[in-house]
Structure 1
Amino acid sequence: MKKKQWQGWGPGEQTEQHYLVQPRALAGGGDVRHVSEFLRASGWRDKSKTNGPLLMESPDRTVRVAYDPYILPGGWTIHGQADGLNGEWTANLGRQTPVEIVAGMTDALTRPRSAHAPNVWAPLQEQNWHTRSEGEHYTATSPDGTAWMQYHHSPDGTAMWWTGAKDQQGIGWTANFTPNTPMHLVQALSAELANPDPVMRPRGRVPHSAQIRTWSVSVKPSQLSAWQQARITAARAATWARNSARSTRPRATARTHTPAGGARTRR
């Protein structure tokens, strides 16, 4: 295990031991506030009941994000109502899905959809994932073999995406997406799944796995708070910019109406 010392803090604060974990797909669930606080800062409503599971609702009430650790197998459920582009859809992600990977999908729910056609495979190929096809099924596997993304096309025409990660002890998580799940959301998740950067976990929350690499880091509470606040501030700024753009958008000018039988001026 490697040791890193973080520099640059003022006096009076005690450092806390955390760990950088790689690959992120095997880092464990993490703090759900990484997801919920970003959504809240983006204008989502917190519909959670006291001491109950997390439940966040989009401003237009068409999408809900829930996390329930009190049931088996537990985990994340993201549900979208039917709209003009997609039918009703659901994404289910296991309890040990790292919050950074979940946030790839939930953060994308707060942003305007890109005009470019989504490509789920592109982020994986950029990180040298191995790909193979078997008839109508297509699979990409991470270079270390711990994570995968699969596309299944059934004979009845139903398309299904499935992803997950697992170590040699069989510990990990899976996620699946119903056929109508918007592809730009699946692509956003695959980008975080393939992200090679490590993620941080506090001491005592690092999974026991022979297939992860860890670096010990000394972090002060103010530094952790600053990182968290930067993410929230970015969400608020983006939300403010979108709302401002909508409010300043020029309205169509009403056309002049000439009453029936009225005189028209010739030029």
Structure 2
Amino acid sequence: MNNQQWTGWSSGAQQAEQHYLVEPRYLAGGGNLHHVADFLRASGWSDKSKTGGPLVFDSPDKSVRIGYDPYTQPGGWTISANPADGQEAWHATFTRQTPVEIVAGFTDALTRPRSAHAPNAWGPLQEQRWQTEQGQHFTAMSPDGGAWLQYHQSQPGQALWWAGARNEHGRIWDASFTASTPMHLIESFSAALADPQQVMRPRGHVPPSTRIRTTSVSVRPDELSAWQQARVTAARAATWARASWATTRPRHTTATGPHTQAGGRTRR
């Protein structure tokens, strides 16, 4: 274990607290739920949660619901989408110990417009030298064997995406996605899963495992708050920009009368 002074923010008079930078991130434990919830709220999602109860968020168009329930077994995150615009209904789950940074890879993507590029769920994993195996199920495995993503086909016409992580004590968490889950969301999830960037956990919240590497850092409460707020601010700015564009984009009108202009472009 290394020890160092966290230098990401300016110094001050507050008492620093010990945290740990943990890698690989898929073995870091669940983390702070606000990492996901605050971003959704800042992105315009409706918070339907009740005090003391499960977290519940609805997308602005009411087509997707995200929930977190620690009181049921196995408990964790559930994301469900209604059928819309040619897209079948789909469902995703993450068990409780799925790191919030990996959950956010999926849920953050739900708040953004879909990219124009063709999604590739395996691309981010291959970039990080994950090993792929073609058989009845197509599987990608992390270099240390501690995490995986699999397109699981139990029989013709029945398939799902399955991911998870394990350490020397056994399986830690699982995630599953129905086959109809939009591919760009699976790609965003796999990018977060394979991201080599360390994640931060407070003292007492680092899972006991010989397969993780930690770096001890001293972080003041205001520094941690500033880092968390930066993520929320970015979400608000992106939401505002999209709303502003939607209300100010040009409309196709004619200068000479009410007739439709010949040769006008068709809006997609």
Task: Using structure 2 for the length normalisation, give the TM-score.
Answer: 0.92
Question: Does the residue aligned with 2:165 lie in a helix, a strand or coil?
Answer: strand
Question: Does the residue aligned with 1:193 lie in a helix, a strand or coil?
Answer: helix
Deviation at 1:86, TM superposition (A): 1.5
Per-residue CA deviations over 1:156-179 (Å, capped at 9, x if unaligned) read 323311000010110410010012
The 5 A counterparts of 1:21-170 are 21-135=22-136, 137-170=137-170
How many residue pairs match? The answer is 257
CA distance in 1, matches of 2:94, 2:11: 40
> Amino acid of the residue matched to residue 258 of structure 2?
T
Please say if residues 22 and 198 of structure 2, whose CA atoms lie closer than 8 Å, have aligned partners that are also in contact: yes
> Amino acid of the residue matched to residue 90 of structure 1?
H
Per-residue CA deviations over 1:158-202 (Å, capped at 9, x if unaligned) read 331100001011041001001211111111000000001110000
CA distance in 2, matches of 1:28, 1:194: 15
Q: What percentage of residue pairs aligned between the two structures are identical? A: 62
Question: Does the residue aligned with 1:173 lie in a helix, a strand or coil?
Answer: strand
Aligned counterpart, 1:251: 251
Per-residue CA deviations over 1:13-55 (Å, capped at 9, x if unaligned) read 1000000111000100000000000010000110001110100
Aligned counterpart, 1:221: 221
The 5 A counterparts of 1:189-204 are 189-204=189-204
CA distance in 2, matches of 1:154, 1:176: 14
Aligned counterpart, 2:207: 207
> Amino acid of the residue matched to residue 25 of structure 2?
R
Aligned counterpart, 1:264: none
Aligned counterpart, 1:188: 188
Deviation at 1:209, TM superposition (A): 0.9
CA distance in 2, matches of 1:147, 1:241: 36
> Amino acid of the residue matched to residue 139 of structure 1?
T
Question: Does the residue aligned with 1:51 lie in a helix, a strand or coil?
Answer: coil
> Amino acid of the residue matched to residue 220 of structure 1?
R
Greater CA deviation, 15-24 or 163-172?
163-172
Question: Does the residue aligned with 2:62 lie in a helix, a strand or coil?
Answer: coil
CA distance in 2, matches of 1:9, 1:125: 37
CA distance in 1, matches of 2:171, 2:156: 33
Greater CA deviation, 147-156 or 212-221?
147-156
**Runs (5+) with no aligned partner, structure 2:** 260-268
Question: Does the residue aligned with 1:40 lie in a helix, a strand or coil?
Answer: helix
**Runs (5+) with no aligned partner, structure 1:** 258-267
Question: What is the Cα-based RMSD across aligned positions, in Å?
Answer: 1.5
Deviation at 1:256, TM superposition (A): 3.3
CA distance in 2, matches of 1:150, 1:104: 17
Please say if residues 164 and 171 of structure 2, whose CA atoms lie closer than 8 Å, have aligned partners that are also in contact: no
Deviation at 1:107, TM superposition (A): 0.3
TM superposition outliers: structure 1 runs of 4+ over 4 Å:
none
Deviation at 1:141, TM superposition (A): 0.3
